[in-house]
């Protein structure tokens, strides 16, 4: 029978594995997600009564009533020696299942994350907009690595606006204040506009995929702050097109001019399993804002961006195609995965 003590042992195992997620479902062995891959733990299979005991131990009466009504509940929880988690509780086949998202995870070094030096050099930017794009789970560490580098090297004020907070930053040379949506701010765009009034040098926003949030991010960058944020897009062309199409026709010219004025870089990332499948390695398209790229954006010739990126290799730019092919040529990823991720990028 699994109880809270057993849950602590399973969570400790997940934390020691530097897992992003722990899955507990009736009839299955607890599983963790590490480096993007699901792995089973060495613990016993979970029974329906076990999941019920775990859930009841996590919830107060208000939460129990909400779960009974909605059959789904997401709430933050914290345990000593484990840290902060987000518990996503839901019903399936009449029993409870739980997805624990482990927050406060250990942030690896840029070298361990295989982040190119040209990307890490973006920490030197003092203002403007940096976009770190890709699938949500694949980009948070890259974004956090840049913020950490700024904190370690610059006396400044950093405000992050996240949902949820995944990595805790300590005050170093910088003061770092972290806000979580639903706890410290009601929404991303509200968090951004409030942050602007709080004397930040750097604002990091974990997602800006709607018009209100992206407009607020552009406003912050125009006001002289360095803004680092993300979209769930892959590739500079798709990213610029997504931004433009977020807005109504009458607003698009203004958005394009704002991008022209503040954009510093678009980094698009896909995490690809290594050849021995022991870790994941990022393939990155890197577009730095230059007069050539800016002109293509303002002239609505974004389909030509890959040509400019290829021609600007000496500046550190690289297309996603070339990045994937280079990883394969170095023997870091398999030919099969190289072809699969090239197809995903072009799809």
Residues with Cβ < 8 Å from 188, sequence gap 6 or more?
Answer: 161, 163, 181, 205, 207, 208, 210, 212, 213, 216
User: Lowest-pLDDT range, 130-139, 234-243, 321-330?
Assistant: 130-139
pLDDT over 70 percentage in the chain: 99
Query: pLDDT for 247-274, tens place per residue?
Result: 999 999 999 999 999 999 999 999 999 9
- Cα–Cα distance, 179 to 301 (Å, whole number): 38
- Cα–Cα distance, 7 to 87 (Å, whole number): 13
Query: pLDDT for 111-136, tens place per residue?
Result: 999 999 999 999 999 999 999 999 98
| Stretch 313-329: mean pLDDT | 97
**Pairing label, strands 128-134, 263-273:** parallel
Task: Please give the class, per CATH, of domain 110-346.
Answer: alpha beta
**Placement of tokens 């190289």 in the chain:** 338
Residues with Cβ < 8 Å from 337, sequence gap 6 or more?
Answer: 272, 273
164 prior amide bond cis, ω within 30: yes
pLDDT at 106: 83
Indicate if the pLDDT at residue 71 is higher than 70.
yes
Structure tokens at 340: 């699969």
What CATH number has the domain spanning 4-102?
A: 3.30.450.90
- Cα–Cα distance, 144 to 208 (Å, whole number): 16
CB atoms near residue 18 (< 10 Å): 14
pLDDT at 347: 73
pLDDT over 90 percentage in the chain: 87
Do 4-102 and 110-346 have matching folds?
no
In the chain, domain spans: 4-102, 110-346
Structure tokens at 43: 């613990």
Query: pLDDT for 186-232, tens place per residue?
Result: 999 999 999 999 999 999 999 999 999 999 999 999 999 999 999 99
pLDDT at 156: 98
86, 105 Cβ separation under 8 angstroms: no
CB atoms near residue 254 (< 10 Å): 12
Indicate if the pLDDT at residue 337 is higher than 90.
yes
Strands (E), 254-333: 263-273, 280-288
Residues with Cβ < 8 Å from 122, sequence gap 6 or more?
Answer: 130, 146, 264, 265, 267
- Cα–Cα distance, 318 to 307 (Å, whole number): 10
- Cα–Cα distance, 309 to 13 (Å, whole number): 43
DSSP 104-148: SPPPPPHHHHT--HHHHGGGG--SEEEEEEE-HHHHHHHHHHHHH
Mean pLDDT in the chain?
94
Indicate if the pLDDT at residue 330 is higher than 80.
yes
Q: b/e for 86-123, b at 16 or more Cβ within 10 A?
A: bbbbeeeeebbbbbbbbbebebeebeebbbeebbbebb
Indicate if the pLDDT at residue 3 is higher than 80.
no
CB burial of residue 158 (10 Å; 0-12, 13-18, 19+): buried
């Amino acid at each position: 029978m699994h109880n809270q003590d057993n849950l602590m042992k399973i969570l400790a195992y997940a934390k020691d594995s530097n897992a992003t997620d722990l899955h507990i479902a009736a009839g299955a062995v607890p599983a963790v997600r590490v480096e993007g891959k699901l792995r089973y733990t060495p613990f016993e299979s979970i029974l329906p009564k076990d999941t019920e005991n775990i859930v009841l131990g996590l919830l107060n009466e208000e939460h129990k009533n909400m779960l009974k009504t909605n059959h789904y509940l997401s709430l933050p929880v914290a345990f000593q020696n484990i840290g902060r988690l987000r518990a996503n509780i839901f019903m399936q086949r009449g029993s409870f299942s739980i997805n624990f998202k482990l927050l406060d995870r250990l942030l690896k070094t840029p070298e361990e994350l295989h982040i190119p030096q040209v990307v890490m050099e973006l920490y030197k930017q003092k203002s403007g907009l940096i976009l770190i794009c890709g699938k949500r789970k694949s980009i948070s560490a890259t974004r956090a690595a840049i913020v950490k580098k700024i904190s370690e090297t610059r006396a400044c004020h950093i405000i992050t606006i996240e949902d949820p907070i995944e990595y805790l930053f300590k005050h170093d040379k910088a003061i770092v204040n972290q806000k979580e949506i639903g706890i410290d701010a009601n929404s991303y765009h509200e968090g951004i506009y409030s942050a602007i009034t709080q004397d930040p040098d750097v604002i990091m926003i974990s997602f800006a995929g709607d018009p209100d949030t992206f407009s607020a991010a552009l406003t912050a960058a125009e006001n002289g702050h360095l803004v680092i944020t993300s979209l769930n897009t892959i590739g500079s062309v798709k990213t610029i097109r997504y931004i433009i199409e977020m807005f109504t026709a009458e607003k698009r010219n203004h958005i394009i001019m704002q991008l022209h004025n503040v954009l510093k870089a678009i980094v698009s990332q896909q995490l690809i399993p290594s050849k021995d499948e022991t870790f994941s390695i990022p393939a990155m398209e890197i577009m730095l804002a230059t007069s050539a790229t800016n002109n293509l954006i303002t002239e609505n010739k974004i389909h030509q961006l890959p040509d400019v990126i290829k021609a600007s290799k000496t500046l550190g730019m690289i297309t996603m195609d070339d990045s994937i092919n280079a990883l394969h040529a170095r023997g870091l990823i398999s030919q099969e995965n190289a072809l699969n991720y090239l197809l995903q990028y072009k799809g």
